[in-house]
């Protein structure tokens, strides 16, 4: 009973199907389904409490941590806001290290999940970290939140590039008092005392030493000199008790200058670092470091070495202690020493001058800020992102992934990882006496001038007095030039 | 109306039929990629532009130049840069010429020689700097010093002594750049007519005479060009300084290029040392441009003078 389909019947059928398809395509779109009735309203604060840190194993078999947040119930139709967040590649999901990818992705995902019902999401824009590019993007209004160096905090807030976070912080219960004292001081150092960014991670110099060779770390400069002399006497040759980078000296010693009662700027912002008692403090500090060199207590090559360049001496087993950044155990020692050798190393706060009552240590790091935006919705979303990305959970996860130091003392005190890591606990001790260099534009030329003066004196090119006189002249010349602006 | 139309049509036809359609894209690209950046740098040099605020830059006229010419560090940097050029360029040229003559011979394995000399070209300047920094490290960790010590010569303070630091910069720059100059000169040597050399040989000229009386004069123009390239490359040196000495010790290896970098993007070694003075750095660039321009014009004048004489 099979009937052959005629050509005419086929065409008719095809025409009917086509007409039907066209009719359905042209029909008015179906009204969206009514929003699902939410039986239980999940408050933001309640959701934040549900945020937790979990450990999971990634495909590359690296133990990583990430933030997980309970997915809130869908909400009514809302205005979509995408926070365009510009950050250097090394602190983004675009970094090559899996642990960083996972950590930063989890912070973004948790924000998107938490604030998705409000229509907010974050779009990461990784870049190479060039400050000029960052400024261009801010000025062209192409970014809503940025990751930037702490040293730019005052200049960027002064240029009105950043949004004051205080109102949003008050709404969500965020408070600068939760951060280290030096962080609070810095965040409130803007011209109008408002908070324009939150500090994500920090670091500070530490004294690293080999426990086998130096059982008790020197606490003060005289102890350090004595230890160096003992090692030179005992071992001699190429073996040294200590090495200190003379390039970057100011980074290690700016706080010790303060500990000795030194001042960089007066209340009007004028440099006073080379006047009266301040000049004497520099002379005293120079004398200590030049003495180490002159008496062959540190390797001669350190005169023109930075932190990294002095490390081959440490790896070769020629040097038993050094001044280095607070992540050097992860960045340098662990990857370059055998396990047994690495275990011989630990850290203490940098030895400080005997005349000083305590050591004060310079801190640096990176901040996240929201870019000033006329659209209140975008501004609110960006400010909320800044708070979210620097909250305790996010900071804990991302700082671990990056081997950085969180800026909230609570993390170093309570988080299991930080609580049990001896290097981190030493860092915590040092950061309790942390300080930040003046965020005034004169700091750059002034610190470079001090650095040059030390180098001039160390190489014998100039006497200490002449070197410091030149540093003073250079600084004042730069100050006059800056004052015109 | 018709006359005007036909006039403009004729103009268009003349334009379309002439060389402009062919050279216009190139000219536009040249204007956009070469002339505009140069002019923009001149503009920048007369502003107080800083890294953290680009749009609020203000016109300061010649203030940046006035500052630079009263800045002893800048004057020292010019002095060292010129010394660096005056020492490395002739040495580099002489070695490159000698190598070019060597590999121009029909030697066995000359391809290997050529490749060996050209190899440093394949490595970035920064990596070259880092590599030599490790090789010259002032301890047993540095290969060269370890070797010298084994030979009983003792270690050399390559980076902590100002004079040795300068030597290290000179040496590494020559080592890394001699290959490119050699290739350039080799190209020139291979354009010399073999018949001329053979005729000279038949006339009884020895190898020295052939070199001094034929090869060297014929290589004058290409040598001039090679010298100009070497001068420009050496005058603007920056990456190797960054990796090797960082301008130290005691600013002994501070070049204009390095000072420009430190002014624009800050110097490592002091947290917060982000100078970011783009205007002043651009002014340094303009001074550098001026010095290079003088040398290039001098070369062009010499070439034209030579042609007129010929």
pLDDT, tens digit (0-9, with 9 covering 90-100), for B247-265: 989 899 999 999 998 888 8
* Calpha distance A58→A37 (Å, rounded): 37
Helical ranges in chain B per DSSP H = 2-17, 20-30, 36-44, 63-68, 72-104, 110-118, 125-135, 143-150, 162-189, 194-202, 207-209, 216-218, 220-235, 239-244, 256-265, 278-309
More confident position, B183 or A65: B183
Strand order in the sheet with A405-406: A120-127, A81-88, A145-149, A364-370, A198-203, A405-406
Domain boundaries, chain B: 1-44, 63-309
Q: Are A159 and B52 in contact (CB under 8 A)?
A: yes
- What is the CATH number assigned to the segment(s) A206-362+441-484? 3.40.190.10
pLDDT at position A5 is 58
Helical ranges in A295-442 per DSSP H = 307-315, 328, 334-336, 339-342, 376-389, 392-402, 409-414, 416-420, 422-431
pLDDT at position A74 is 56
Q: Within an 8 Å CB–CB cutoff, is residue B266 touching chain A?
A: yes
At B120-156, the pLDDT tens digits run 888 888 899 999 999 999 877 789 999 998 898 888 9
Are A247 and B268 in contact (CB < 8 Å)? yes
pLDDT at position B143 is 92
**Residue A30 pLDDT > 50:** no
Q: Are A147 and A87 in contact (CB under 8 A)?
A: yes
pLDDT at position B177 is 92
Structure tokens, A408: 């909230």
The 3-state secondary structure of B57-96 reads: CCECCCHHHHHHCCCHHHHHHHHHHHHHHHHHHHHHHHHH
Are B137 and A312 in contact (CB < 8 Å)? yes
- List where CATH 3.40.190.10 sits in chain A: 50-203+364-434, 206-362+441-484
Q: What is the mean pLDDT of residues B204-210?
A: 89
Residue with tokens 């002249």: A473
Distance (Å) from the C-alpha of residue B76 to the closest C-alpha of chain A? Answer: 14
Structure tokens, A221: 């400069």
Kindly list the residues from chain B whose CB atom is less than 8 angstroms away from the CB atom of residue A151.
Answer: 271-274
**Residue B270 pLDDT > 50:** no
- The whole model's pTM is what? 0.82
More confident position, A83 or A13: A83
pLDDT at position B308 is 67
Residue A411: pLDDT band by 50, 70, 90 thresholds? very high
Angle at the Cα of B225 (from B219 to B227), degrees rounded to 5?
A: 95
Average pLDDT, rounded, for chain B: 88
At A90-141, the pLDDT tens digits run 999 999 999 999 999 999 999 999 999 999 999 999 999 888 999 999 999 9
* Calpha distance A312→A336 (Å, rounded): 9
Residue with tokens 């039907």: A20
Q: Within an 8 Å CB–CB cutoff, is residue B32 touching chain A?
A: no
Distance (Å) from the C-alpha of residue B166 to the closest C-alpha of chain A? Answer: 13
**ipTM reported for the complex, 2 dp:** 0.81
Selecting from B54, B275, B278 the residue whose C-beta is nearest the C-beta of A445 gives B275
Instruction: Please name the CATH architecture into which domain A50-203+364-434 falls.
Output: 3-Layer(aba) Sandwich (3.40)
Selecting from A254, A301, A485 the residue whose C-beta is nearest the C-beta of B139 gives A301
Q: Name which of A128, A154, A202 is nearest A395 in CA terms.
A: A202
Q: Within an 8 Å CB–CB cutoff, is residue B101 touching chain A?
A: no
* Residue A405 half-sphere exposure toward CB, CA atoms < 13 A: 32
How, if at all, do strands A345-348 and A205-210 pair? Answer: antiparallel
Q: Name which of A166, A48, A140 is nearest A86 in CA terms.
A: A140
Distance (Å) from the C-alpha of residue A330 to the closest C-alpha of chain B? Answer: 20
Are B245 and A304 in contact (CB < 8 Å)? yes
Residue B13: pLDDT band by 50, 70, 90 thresholds? confident
pLDDT at position A73 is 57
Instruction: Please name the CATH architecture into which domain B63-309 falls.
Output: Orthogonal Bundle (1.10)
pLDDT at position A43 is 40
Q: Within an 8 Å CB–CB cutoff, is residue B150 touching chain A?
A: no
Residue A258: pLDDT band by 50, 70, 90 thresholds? very high
Selecting from B54, B133, B262 the residue whose C-beta is nearest the C-beta of A309 gives B133
pLDDT at position A40 is 39
Average pLDDT, rounded, for chain A: 87
């Amino acid at each position: 009973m099979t009937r052959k389909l005629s050509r005419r019947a086929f065409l008719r059928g095809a025409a009917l199907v086509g007409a039907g398809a066209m009719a359905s395509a042209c029909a008015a779109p179906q009204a969206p389904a009514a929003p699902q009735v939410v039986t239980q309203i999940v408050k933001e604060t309640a959701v934040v409490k549900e945020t937790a840190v979990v450990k999971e194993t990634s495909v590359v078999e690296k133990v990583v941590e990430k933030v997980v947040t309970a997915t809130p119930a869908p909400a009514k139709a809302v205005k979509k806001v995408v926070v365009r967040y510009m950050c250097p590649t090394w602190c983004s999901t675009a970094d090559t290290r899996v642990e960083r990818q996972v950590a930063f992705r989890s912070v973004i995902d948790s924000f998107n999940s938490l604030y998705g019902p409000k229509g907010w999401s974050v779009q990461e824009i990784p870049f190479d970290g060039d400050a000029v590019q960052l400024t261009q993007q801010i000025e062209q209004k192409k970014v809503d939140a940025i990751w930037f160096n702490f040293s730019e905090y005052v200049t960027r807030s002064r240029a009105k590039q950043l949004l004051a976070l205080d109102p949003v912080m008050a709404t969500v219960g965020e408070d600068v008092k939760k951060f280290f004292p030096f962080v609070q001081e810095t965040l409130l150092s803007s011209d109008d005392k408002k908070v324009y960014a939150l500090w994500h991670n920090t670091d500070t110099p530490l004294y690293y030493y080999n426990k086998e060779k130096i059982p008790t770390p020197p606490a003060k400069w005289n102890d350090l000199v004595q230890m160096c002399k003992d090692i030179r006497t005992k071992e001699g040759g190429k073996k040294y008790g200590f090495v200190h980078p003379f390039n970057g000296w100011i980074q290690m010693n700016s706080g010790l200058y303060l500990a000795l009662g030194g001042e960089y700027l007066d209340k009007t912002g004028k440099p006073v670092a080379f006047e009266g008692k301040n000049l004497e403090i520099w002379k005293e500090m120079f004398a200590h470091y030049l003495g180490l060199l002159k008496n062959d207590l540190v390797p001669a090559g350190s005169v023109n070495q930075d932190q990294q360049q002095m490390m081959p001496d440490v790896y070769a087993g020629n040097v038993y202690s050094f001044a280095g950044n607070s992540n050097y155990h992860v960045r340098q020692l662990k990857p370059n020493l055998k396990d047994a050798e690495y275990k011989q190393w630990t850290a203490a706060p940098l030895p400080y001058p005997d005349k000083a009552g305590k050591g004060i240590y310079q801190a640096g790091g990176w901040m996240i800020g929201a870019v000033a935006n006329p659209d209140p919705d975008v501004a609110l979303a960006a400010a909320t992102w800044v708070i979210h990305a620097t909250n305790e959970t996010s900071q804990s996860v991302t700082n671990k992934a990056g081997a950085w130091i969180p800026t909230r003392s609570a993390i170093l005190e309570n988080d299991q990882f930080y609580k049990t890591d001896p290097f981190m606990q030493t860092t915590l001790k040092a950061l309790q006496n942390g300080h930040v260099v003046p965020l005034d534009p004169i700091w750059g030329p002034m610190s470079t001038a001090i650095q040059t003066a030390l180098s001039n004196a160390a190489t014998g090119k100039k006497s200490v007095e002449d070197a410091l006189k030149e540093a003073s002249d250079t600084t004042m010349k730069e100050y006059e030039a800056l004052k015109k602006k | 109306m018709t006359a005007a139309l036909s006039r403009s049509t004729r103009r268009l036809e003349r334009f379309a039929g002439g060389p402009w359609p062919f050279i216009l894209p190139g000219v536009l690209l040249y204007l956009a990629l070469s002339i505009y950046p140069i002019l923009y740098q001149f503009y920048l040099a007369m502003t107080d532009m800083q890294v953290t605020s680009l749009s609020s830059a203000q016109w300061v006229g010649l203030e940046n130049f006035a500052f630079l010419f009263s800045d002893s560090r800048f004057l020292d940097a010019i002095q060292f840069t010129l010394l660096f050029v005056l020492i490395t360029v002739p040495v580099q040229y002489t070695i490159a010429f000698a190598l070019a003559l060597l590999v121009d011979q029909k030697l066995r394995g000359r391809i290997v020689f050529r490749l060996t000399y050209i190899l440093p070209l394949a490595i970035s300047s920064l990596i070259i700097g880092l590599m030599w920094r490790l090789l010259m490290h002032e301890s047993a960790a540095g290969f060269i010093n370890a070797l010298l010590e084994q030979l009983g010569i003792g270690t050399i303070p390559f980076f902590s002594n100002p004079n040795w630091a300068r030597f290290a910069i000179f040496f590494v720059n020559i080592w890394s750049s001699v290959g490119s100059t050699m290739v350039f000169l080799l190209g020139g040597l291979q354009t010399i007519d073999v018949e001329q050399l053979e005729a000279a040989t038949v006339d009884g000229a020895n190898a020295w005479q052939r070199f001094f009386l034929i090869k060297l004069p014929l290589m004058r123009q290409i040598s001039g060009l090679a010298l100009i390239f070497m001068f420009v490359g050496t005058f603007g040196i920056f990456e190797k300084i960054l990796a090797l000495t960082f301008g130290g010790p005691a600013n002994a290896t501070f070049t204009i290029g390095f000072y420009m970098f430190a002014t624009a993007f800050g110097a490592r070694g002091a947290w917060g040392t982000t100078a970011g003075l783009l205007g002043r750095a651009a002014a340094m660039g303009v001074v550098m441009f001026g010095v290079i321009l003088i040398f290039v014009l001098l070369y062009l004048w010499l070439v034209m003078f030579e042609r007129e004489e010929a």
